[in-house]
Amino acid sequence: MALTSDVAPDAGNRLEDLVDTAHRIRRSIESVIEGKADAVRLTLTVLLAEGHLLIEDVPGVGKTMLAKALARSIDCPVRRVQFTPDLLPSDITGVSAYNQQTREFEFKPGPVFANIVVGDEINRASPKTQSALLECMEEHQVTVDGVTYELESPFMVIATQNPIEMEGTYPLPEAQRDRFTAKIAMGYPEPTAELEMLDVHGASQPLGKLEPVATTAEVRALIQAVRAVYVSQAVKRYAVDMVTATRRSPDLRLGASPRATLQLLRGARAHAALAGRDYVIPDDLQELAVPVLAHRLLPSLEAQGQRRQPEQVVADLVRRVPVPDTN
Amino acid sequence: MRLSVVAGLAVGAVTLTLYSLFEGGAWFWACVGTLLVTTGGATLASRFDAPKWAVPPLLLLATAVFLSATFAKEHTWAWVVPTKASALRLGELLAEGFTDIQRYAVPVPAEPGVSMLTASGVGLIAILVDLFAVRLRRAALAGLPLLGLFTVPAAVLTEPVAWPAFVIAAIGYVGLLVADGRERLTQWGRAVLVRRARSVGTDKADSGRLALSGKRIGATAIALAVVLPALLPALSPDPLFGFGVGNGSGKGGNSIGIPDAIAKLSGQLSQQRNLTVLTYTSADDRPRYLRIYALDVFDGKKWTVSPLRGRPEDRVSEGPLPPPPGLGPGIATNRVESRISVSEDIGPLLFLPLPYPAVEVDVDGDWRADQASRMVFSTRDEAAGLNYRVVVNEPRPTRDQLDTMDTPTPDSRFLALPDLDPKIVAMAGRVTAKGATPYQKAVLLQEWFTRTGGFSYSLETKGSGGSALSRFILTARTGYCEQFASAMAVMARVIGIPARVSIGYTGGTKIEKSWAVRTQDAHAWPELYFEGVGWLPFEPTPAGGAGQGTARVPDYSLPRPSEVTPSADPSAGPASDEEDTSSQGPTRRNPRDFERDLGAVPVAVDPGMPVAAKIALGAAGVLLLALVPAAARTLVRRRRHAQIRRGGAAPAIRAAWAELCDTLTDLGEAREPSESPRALARRLTEMYEFDAEAAAAVTAVATAEERMRYAASPPSAGPAAAELSCVRRALMGAVPGKRRMGALLAPRSILLRVRAAGTRVLDGFDRLEGIRWLPLSKGEAGTR
C-alpha cells in the first residue's frame, strides 16, 4: 500500500514532508513487526490525531512491541506500566517525596511523564488507578499535591487489555473506553509473516537495532500539519450522520458520543494527511468508523442474542449511510 | 357500523352526479332524507346485531314510512304512520313522476312526483349497497348498484358527466372499498413488533401504511381515469376543466361558461310554462330573430362555441362596432333601431339576445363583442332585467346579387367537419346537384328540409350529433329546430358553404305595440356565409302550427318564383302556407322519387385509409413511442457532452459525473448509497477489468467529482469528454449484450426519472390526504 499514491497536485511542502516522515516511521516499525501494516498505519493515524490507542488482544502478539517500536522510531521516551490490582494512582502520576538534604518535598515524576506510555493489561488495575491515567489522557496534564505539571507533546497512551475474562479484572467502563480514540486488535500474524519473524528475529532482540528516524519536533510539526487538513461541510455532516445512525440503530443500546464525532473527524484528518491529501473524503471516515466507533457502543439484547458484535453493526451502518453529494 | 355510514356516503356521492338531470333542489333534499333514513336504519341494525336477512325488508319499510311522511303527509296517521290513502297517493305521485320524466327533456323540473321517484330509487340503491357491502361483506359487488345509479345521468344526457362529478362518485366507491378493507385488517389483529423500546407505539403506522398504499392506488386510478381520456384526443368526450358543457373563455383571465345551449333549448321548447322572456320594439315594426349564441365548432356529436375574445377595446360601450364580416359594397342595407327589454324570467344569461348584425349596442354594464361571431357577452353582468338599444344593419341582397357570390371561407373552422357518414355526404351532393351557384345550392338545401325532403316537426326527438344526425337526415326525418339547423349547417359545410348554428329566439308574436318573445320561441337556425354579404340566416325548420310557431323564412332564401311552383308567392309570410301549397302543387314531387331520380349522380366519397395501413401506422406509432426514452437519453447525453466541451470546471464535472451515474443506472449497475466516487472508480476498475486507459479515465472523472465535493478549492478543470466516452465504451464493452441493448433501448435512468416524478405526484396526493376531507376519516376518528 503506497502512501504516496494520491498526492494532491496542489499540496504544499508540509504535506509532502509529512508523508515522507510518516513513511519512514512506518517502515521502521514494520521492520520489527511483520505483516501488520493496517495496525501500524492506524497507530500512526492515532498518533497524528493526538489520540490514544486501545489494543485488545491475547498476550504475545506484539502489542508492547508495537508501542516500543513506535517510541524508538521517533526518538522519544517511552514508559511502560504493568497494571496490577494493587497499583496506586501515584504509581502512575508520580509522588512528592521528602528530600532530606534539601529538607523539601520533591516531585518524583511517574511513568506518565513520557511521550508514549504503554499501559499493559489496563483492566487489571482498580478503577481508581485507571481513572488517574484517564485523567492524564484527557487533560494532557498531571496534578499532584495541588501542583499541575504539563505533559509533553506528543503524548500518546497505548493501552492493552486481554479479551479473555479473567479473575481479578476491572473491565473498562463505557465512559472510560470512550476516551480512547481507537481500538484495534493485533491478531495473529500470517503464517508466512510468522515464519519470517522466526528467521529475522529468532536470535536477536530486534528493538535494539532500531534507530530513530524522526524527532519529537518533527512529530509535533506533523500534528500541526494534520490540524490544517480541510474538512468540507458535507463531510462534517456525513460524520454526524454516521454517529447519529449509531444512536438510532435498533441493534445498539448505547450510541456514540459527541466526543466520538470529534475524534472520528480528527482521525479522518490524520488519515487524509497520511494519504497525502489536504482534504478529508468520506472514504477516510468509512475506513476509521469501525476502529473509532465500535468500542464505544453497547449492543442491544437483541443483537447480543444474534451474536452481532458492535464492529459488525458499525460496518453495516457505514454501508447504509449515504455519502454526501454536495456542499 | 362505520361501514354502514361509509356505504351511505358512497351512495350520496353518486347521487350528486344526478345534479344535471333536474331543475331545482327539491329532489336533492328528498334523496338526502332517504339516505339518512336508510343509513341510520342500517347503523342501528348493525349496532343491535339484527339478522342479516331481516335488514333489507326493515330498511324498505323505513324508506316507505319516510316517503309517505314526506310526500303524502296529509294522508298519514299522526303524520307518520302510512295508511291506505297515503300509499295510494304515493302510487299517484310515482305515476306522475314517470309521466313527467317521459314528457320533459332534461333538466326535468323537480316536481314532487319526480322527487319522490328519484328518492325512492336512491333509497333502493342504498338498501342494495348496504346488503352487498355491510350484510354480505362484498364491498366490491356494491359497486354494481352504484354503477347503475351512475349510468342514469351518463345515459340520459348527451353530454358526458362532468369530471368533478365523476371524481366525487369514484371517491365514494373507493372510500367504501377502503373502509371494508380496513375493517378486515382490524380483524387480523395487530402486527407483533420486535423492536426496542424506543420505537414502540408504531402500531398506527403499521396499518396506516397499508391503508396509505390502498389510498394511493385508488387516487392514482381516479386521476388516470380523469386525465387519460383528456390526453387521448380520440377518447376526449369533454375538454378538461370544462365543468359543465360547451365552454368558451375570454382572454385576460376572464372566462365564462356557456350553458349547454342545445340542451337548454329543448328544455325551453318543451316547458309547460310559456314565460315571456323579452319584449322589443323596432322602428320598422318587423319581427327579427334574436341571436344569443353562434355555434361554429362541430365535433360530430355537438355544436360548440370556439373560444371567445373580449378585449377591453371590444366593449360595446366603446362606440359603434366595425362592419360585420363579409359585407361588401353594392349591397343594399337596412338600418333599423330596436329597443329590447329582457325579463327576469330569462334566467341566468351572460349573453345578450341581439338581432344580427348589430352595429351599435347601447347597454349598461361591461358587455363585450366577440369580433368574429358578433356574440355580445359579459363575464360579470347578466342579461336578465336589462333594457337596451340596438341598431342593426341588415343586408338586403337581391337574388341576382347572391347568385354571383362566391363562398371563400373567412376561417377554415366554418368548413371543418368530423368524419361523417358517407351517406350524408352523398345525400348533400344529390340534394344540391341542380344548383349552379352556392346560393342556389343553399336554397335547394333549405327547400329540401322544409318541403321536398319529407321532414316533419316533433319535439320528442333527442340529440343532434353522431348517429342521431345520420338518423335524422337519412331515415327518421323527424325533429325540431335543433336537428334541422344542425343538419342544414353540416350539409352546407359538406357542399363547401361556410356555416354555423345560431341559437336564440324567433321574432315572437306581436302584442299591442311591441313584440313578445316567449320561452317556446327558443330556436336554432343555420347561418350561411356568402362573400360580399356576410352571414345570412336560413330557416330549414318547418314553421306554423305543425312546426316552430313563430319561425319565418327569409325572403332571399325562397326559391325564385319560376323555380318552385306557379302558385307560390315569394313574398308570402309563413312557410307553412307554402308547405300546404307545395304538397298540392302541380309538381307534387314525391321526395322518394326525387332521390331516385338523382340517385345515379356519381358522388366522390373518400373511403378513408385501408385497414392494413391503419394497423401499420398504429404499429409505427407504438414503436416510435417505445423509442422515446432512448431518444430522451441520447439527448441528455449530448447535452452533457456539450456541457463538458464548453468548459467551466464545476458544470463540466457535474455533467460528467451525472453521465457516469446514469450510464451505470442504464446498465443496471446497483450502487450502495455509501459508495464514494473514489470507491466507485476502484470497484468498476476491478469488476470490469478495465485497461489502463479506461482505469485512468474513470479515476479522473471520480477524482474530479471528489475534489469538487470535498476539497477546499475545486479543481480548475473538469475531465475531458474523451475520458467520459472512454469509460462508457469500456463499460458497454464489458457487459453482456443483453444488458447493453437494455441500456440503449430502455434506459433505466430515464424511466427512474419518470418514476420519481410519479412519486412526487403521489406525495401530493398524500398531502391532500393530510387535509382529512374524506368523510371516511370521521368514522375513523370515532373508533380510535
- The share of chain B scoring above pLDDT 90, in percent, equals 9
> Of A133-147, A273-287, B207-221, where does mean pLDDT reach its minimum?
B207-221
Which residue of chain B has the CA closest to A321?
Answer: B674
Q: Mean pLDDT throughout B556-583?
A: 47
Q: Is the Cβ–Cβ distance between B369 and B310 less than 8 Å?
A: yes
Q: How many A×B Cβ pairs under 8 Å?
A: 57
| Inside any domain, residue A191 | no
Joined together, the cell numbers standing for residue B70 give: 314526506
Q: Nearest to residue B278, comparing CAs of B354, B341, B362, B339?
A: B341
| Inside any domain, residue A271 | yes
Domain that holds residue A326: 229-327
Predicted local confidence at residue A202, as pLDDT: 66
Give every CB contact of residue B690 below 8 A, 6+ residues apart in sequence: B684, B698, B730, B734
Average pLDDT, chain B: 77
Q: Which amino acid is at B387?
A: N
State how far the Cα of B344 lies from the Cα of B361, in Å rounded to an integer: 20
Residue A214's SS3 state is coil
| Inside any domain, residue A312 | yes
Which residue of chain A has the CA closest to B196?
Answer: A250
Which residue of chain B has the CA closest to A320?
Answer: B674
pLDDT in tens, B711-766: 888 888 878 888 889 999 999 888 888 888 888 888 888 888 888 888 887 777 66
Q: Nearest to residue B560, comparing CAs of B450, B440, B448?
A: B440
Count of other CB atoms within 10 angstroms of residue A169? 17
DSSP for residue A97: E
Joined together, the cell numbers standing for residue A30 give: 514494520
Q: Are B674 and A278 in contact (CB < 8 Å)? A: no
- The share of chain B scoring above pLDDT 70, in percent, equals 79
State how far the Cα of B359 lies from the Cα of B391, in Å rounded to an integer: 6
A47, B452, B710 from B56: Cα distances, Å: 85, 59, 72
pLDDT in tens, B26-47: 888 899 999 999 999 999 998 8
Q: Are A278 and B194 in contact (CB < 8 Å)? A: no
Q: Nearest to residue A286, comparing CAs of A260, A259, A256, A316?
A: A316
Q: Are A8 and B679 in contact (CB < 8 Å)? A: no
Q: Mean pLDDT throughout B283-292?
A: 85
Q: Nearest to residue B11, comparing CAs of B150, B131, B137?
A: B150
- A105 in contact with chain B, both atoms CB, cutoff 8 A: no
- A326 in contact with chain B, both atoms CB, cutoff 8 A: yes
Q: Nearest to residue B743, comparing CAs of B731, B726, B759, B761?
A: B731
Query: Which residue ranges make up each domain of chain B?
Result: 2-235, 257-396, 626-746
Q: Burial level of B657, CB count in 10 A (0-12/13-18/19+)?
A: buried
Q: Which amino acid is at A246?
A: T
Q: Is the predicted pLDDT of residue A315 greater than 70, yes or no?
A: yes
Question: Is residue A10 very low, low, confident or very high in pLDDT (cuts 50, 70, 90)?
Answer: very low
User: Which of left, alpha, beta for B774 (phi over 0: left; psi -120 to 50: alpha)?
Assistant: beta
Domains: count for chain A = 1
Q: Nearest to residue A161, comparing CAs of A53, A296, A89?
A: A53
Q: Is the predicted pLDDT of residue B247 greater than 60, yes or no?
A: no
Give every CB contact of residue B424 below 8 A, 6+ residues apart in sequence: B469, B470, B473, B474, B490, B491, B494
Q: Burial level of B49, CB count in 10 A (0-12/13-18/19+)?
A: exposed
What's the longest Cα–Cα distance across chain B?
Answer: 106
Q: Are A321 and B674 in contact (CB < 8 Å)? A: yes
Question: Is residue B270 very low, low, confident or very high in pLDDT (cuts 50, 70, 90)?
Answer: low
- The share of chain A scoring above pLDDT 90, in percent, equals 26
- A20 in contact with chain B, both atoms CB, cutoff 8 A: no
Question: Is residue B210 very low, low, confident or very high in pLDDT (cuts 50, 70, 90)?
Answer: low
Which residue of chain B has the CA closest to A323?
Answer: B674
Count of other CB atoms within 10 angstroms of residue B617? 11
Q: Are A319 and B672 in contact (CB < 8 Å)? A: yes
Q: Could you say which of A232, A302, A322 has the minimum Cβ distance to residue B710?
A: A232
B41, B58, B95, B172, B360 from B90: Cα distances, Å: 21, 19, 9, 30, 56
Q: Mean pLDDT throughout B360-389?
A: 81
Q: Which helix (H) or strand (E) holds B391?
A: strand B387-395
| Inside any domain, residue A262 | yes
Question: Is residue A182 very low, low, confident or very high in pLDDT (cuts 50, 70, 90)?
Answer: very high
Q: In angstroms, what separates the C-alpha of B199 from chain A's closest C-alpha?
A: 9
Predicted local confidence at residue A266, as pLDDT: 94
- Secondary structure of B230-272 as H, E, C letters: HHCHHHCCCCCCCCCCCEEECCCCCEEECCCHHHHHHHHHCCC
Q: Which amino acid is at B87?
A: A
Q: In angstroms, what separates the C-alpha of A71 from chain B's closest C-alpha?
A: 33
Q: Are B195 and A280 in contact (CB < 8 Å)? A: no
Residue B601's SS3 state is coil
> Of A117-131, B350-364, B398-412, B511-525, where does mean pLDDT reach its minimum?
B398-412
A231, A234, A291, B711 from A327: Cα distances, Å: 11, 5, 27, 10
Residue A196's SS3 state is helix
The angle subtended at Cα A286 by Cα A282 and Cα A291, nearest 5°, is: 140
How many Å from the N-terminal Cα to the C-terminal Cα in chain A?
Answer: 30
Q: Is the predicted pLDDT of residue B93 greater than 60, yes or no?
A: yes
Q: Mean pLDDT throughout B625-641?
A: 90
State the ipTM, two decimals: 0.83
Joined together, the cell numbers standing for residue B227 give: 386525465
Q: Could you say which of A253, A283, A319 has the minimum Cβ distance to residue B678?
A: A283
Which residue of chain A has the CA closest to B195?
Answer: A250
How many Å from the N-terminal Cα to the C-terminal Cα in chain B?
Answer: 14
- A135 in contact with chain B, both atoms CB, cutoff 8 A: no
Chain A positions touching B195 (Cβ under 8 A) are: 250
Which residue of chain B has the CA closest to A301?
Answer: B196
Q: Is the predicted pLDDT of residue B256 greater than 50, yes or no?
A: no
- A228 in contact with chain B, both atoms CB, cutoff 8 A: no
Question: Is residue B266 very low, low, confident or very high in pLDDT (cuts 50, 70, 90)?
Answer: low
Q: Mean pLDDT throughout B463-488?
A: 78
| Inside any domain, residue A138 | no
Question: Is residue B253 very low, low, confident or very high in pLDDT (cuts 50, 70, 90)?
Answer: very low
Q: Are B713 and A326 in contact (CB < 8 Å)? A: no
State how far the Cα of B12 lies from the Cα of B55, in Å rounded to an integer: 20
Q: Burial level of A59, CB count in 10 A (0-12/13-18/19+)?
A: exposed
Q: Is the predicted pLDDT of residue B782 greater than 50, yes or no?
A: no
| Inside any domain, residue A56 | no
Q: Is the Cβ–Cβ distance between B5 and B93 less than 8 Å?
A: no
Predicted local confidence at residue A6, as pLDDT: 43
Predicted local confidence at residue A165, as pLDDT: 64
Give every CB contact of residue B499 below 8 A, 6+ residues apart in sequence: B414, B488, B489, B490, B492, B493, B526, B527, B528, B529
Q: Which amino acid is at B518?
A: R
Interface test with A, best of B675, B709, B710 (most A CBs within 10 A): B710
Q: In angstroms, what separates the C-alpha of B681 from chain A's closest C-alpha?
A: 12
Predicted local confidence at residue B564, as pLDDT: 42
Question: Is residue B418 very low, low, confident or very high in pLDDT (cuts 50, 70, 90)?
Answer: confident
Q: Burial level of B538, CB count in 10 A (0-12/13-18/19+)?
A: buried
Residue A10's SS3 state is coil
Q: Could you say which of B194, B679, B712 has the minimum Cβ distance to residue A279?
A: B712
The angle subtended at Cα B369 by Cα B365 and Cα B370, nearest 5°, is: 145
Q: Nearest to residue B296, comparing CAs of B536, B534, B501, B530?
A: B501
The radius of gyration computed from the CA coordinates of chain B, to the nearest angstrom, equals: 35
Return the CATH number at A297. Answer: 1.10.8.80
Chain A positions touching B675 (Cβ under 8 A) are: 323
Q: Are A232 and B711 in contact (CB < 8 Å)? A: yes
